[in-house]
Structure 1
Amino acid sequence: MKKYTYWLLPICWMGVIFYSSSTPYQEQDIKPFMSEYLDFSFLIPIVEGISFSYHHSQVSVAALGINGFIEFFVRKGAHVSVYLILMCLFYLACKQTLRISFKARLAISFILTSLYAVTDEIHQGFTQNRTPYAGDVGLDVFGALIALVAIVFINNLIKRRR
C-alpha cells in the first residue's frame, strides 16, 4: 500500500459521515422499523422515570414513546462511535505517513476530527429537517477523546511488552 493511500481511509469515512448528514431525518428514522420488528415495551418500567432536555426537547418515554426514546440513544451513540472511528483513521494515516512524535500524531488526529465534527454539524444545518447543534459536536469530540485514550492505552501496553 502506497504511503499516502492511508489518507483515503479517513477521507472515505468523512464521505460516509457527509452523506449521512445530507440525509433528511425522515429517511434515517428507525422508529417504523422498530415498531414493526422489535418490541421494547419490556423496557418501559425500567426507563420511564428518565427524563431530560436535549436541544430544547424533552427526552423521555412519555414524550417520545419507547421507540423514540431508544432511537434518541442510538442516534447519539452513532455520533460517538462514528467520530471515534474517524479519530482512529486519522491517527493511522498520521502514523503511517508523518514522521512526527506520538503526541503530535495524537494532537493532529484529535484536531482534524474535532474540526470535521464542527464543519459537518454546520453542513447538517443545510439539510432538510436537520438542525446543527453544538451538543452533537460535543458528542463527536467525546468519541474522538475515547479513541485518543484507547490509542494511548494500547500504545502503553505495546511499550510494556517490548
Structure 2
Amino acid sequence: MINRISKHEKWYWWIIIGIELVLFYSSSMTYKQQTSVPFLEKHLGSNNKPFYSLLNQISFDYGGKIQSIKNDGYYHFVEFFIRKGAHFGIYFLLGLFLSLALYNYFKSYKFLSVFVPWMMATGLAAFDEFHQGLTGGRTPSVSDVILDSAGALLASAILLLIIYILNSKRKKDLK
C-alpha cells in the first residue's frame, strides 16, 4: 500500500495545486458572480420546491446568523447547503490529497500523518477566507474555516483508517 502511495506522490501534489487554484479563483469572485440562486429559481421554478416541508422545519445558527427558509427564503437556504457542502467537500479532497502526498514522510508517526495535513488544510482555509475578505461583497468567516478544517480532518482520519485496515489485512494474509 505504501509503495502505491509513494508511486503517485507527484500527482497528489499536482492535484493539491489544482484544488488551490480553484479555491483562489473561487474566493476572488463576488457573491453576485458566484450565486446559484438564479439557476435554482430558473430550473426549479416557483412551484417546484423539493423537500420544502422538511427544510421549512430546519433552523440553526451558523456564524452568528440564523439560517432558515423563514429568514432567507427557499432558494437562498438551499444555496446555503450547496455552498457549505462545497466548502466541506473541497477541503475533504484537499485533506485527502495532502495526506496522500505527505504519507511517506510521516508513515512512522501516525499522529503526524493526520495532524500535519489537517493543519496545512486549516491554514490554507484561513488564508482563503482572508483572501475572500479582500473581495468585494464577501466576508470572511471563522465558521467556514472550522467547516473546512473538519472536512480535511475527516479525510485524513478516514485515509489513515483505510490504510490501517488494508495493512492489517495484508499482514493477516501473509501469515
TM-score, normalization: structure 2? 0.82
Structure 1 segments of 4 or more deviating over 3 A? 1-6
Instruction: For residues 83-106 of structure 1, give each alpha carbon's deviation from its aligned partner in whole angstroms, at most 9, with x where no partner exists.
Output: 01001111121135x365252332
Partner of 2:146: 138
Aligned residue for 2:23, secondary structure, equals helix
Q: Percent identity?
A: 34
Q: Could you tell me which amino acid in structure 1 is paired with residue 158 of structure 2?
A: A
Alignment partner, residue 35 of structure 2: 29
Larger CA deviation: 24-33 vs 3-12 = 3-12
Match of 1:49 among 38, 43, 57: 57
What is the deviation of 1:38? 2.0
Structure 1 residue 17: Cα displacement: 0.7
Check if 1:159 corresponds to 2:167: yes
User: Following superposition of structure 1 onto structure 2, how do residues 12-27 of structure 1 map, counting pairs within 5 Å?
Assistant: 12-27=18-33
Let me know the Cα RMSD of the aligned residues: 2.0
C-alpha change, 1:125 and 1:15, in structure 2 (3 Å) is same
Instruction: Give the stretch that moved more between structures: 75-84 or 62-71.
Output: 62-71
Please say if 1:110 is aligned against 2:118: yes
2:90 equivalent in structure 1: 82
Distance 1:10 1:102, change over 3 A: farther
**Gaps (5+ residues) in structure 2?**
1-6, 171-175
CA radius of gyration, larger in: 2
Distance in 1, Cα, partners of 2:31 & 2:95: 25
TM-score of the two chains, using structure 1 as the length reference: 0.88
Cα distance per residue 1:124-157 (max 9 Å; x no partner): 1001111001000010011012102211221122
Secondary structure (helix, strand or coil) at the match of 1:49 reads coil
Alignment coverage as a number of residue pairs: 161
The range that moved more, 83-92 or 56-65, is 56-65
* Offset at residue 27 of structure 1 (A): 1.0
Give the partner amino acid of 1:112. M
Q: Secondary structure at the match of 1:101?
A: coil
Aligned to 2:108: 101
Question: Which residue type is aligned with residue 85 of structure 1?
Answer: L
